[in-house]
Structure 1
Amino acid sequence: MTDYQNLSLNELQTVIDNAEKALKNKLVNHRKEVIAQIKELAASIDVSVEITEIDKKSPRRGVKVPVKYRHPNDPDKIWTGRGMMPKWLRTLIDQGHDSSEFKV
């Protein structure tokens, strides 16, 4: 067994990359075997099955929403208009400002 503590960063990263590739290949092969077993079992009772792949990724994941509001004095404080209103904007509105003053 390899002593991982004695490996350099590059060697350790190579081991990790190779392990991830091997795991991915094993998962793909296992999936193919299971699908073949399902089709074989279905054929044994004179039934045909069609297996469709489901895309596991959410179509909304990673979608950036444009900024709608920006703090007048601190440009790092922004809000997209989604979710709870940030404290800085709530404070400014409570002071008598209108939210439209801070629209981008």
Structure 2
Amino acid sequence: MKLDNMSREELQSLQKQVTVALKNYDERKKREAQSKLEAMAKEMGYSLNDFAGGKKGKSGGAAPKYVHPENPGKTWSGRGRQPQWFKDALSSGKSAEDMAI
């Protein structure tokens, strides 16, 4: 790819694509790491919360029970109204067990 031959608009578009790709890459790697750590902890009879001090949800209430399938930063305790991401995942064919922590 010859960057010198690209217009400003093409370069800006490429820059946006690279920014999105890097963000997706980082999120994917974090999910992979979290899955591996959860599996290791489970194999030894623990959960990640046992090591992270039982991190609470945003409200300070119950600990998270479900995690967003693509964004581990979004969690839900299973109490109260279902978040939209949870409803969307269910309607796309995922089960609650698929998103359980």
* TM-score, normalised by the number of residues in structure 1: 0.46
Looking at CA atoms only, which structure, 1 or 2, has the larger radius of gyration?
1
Tell me which of the two structures has the higher relative contact order, counting C-alpha pairs closer than 8 angstroms and 6 or more residues apart: 2
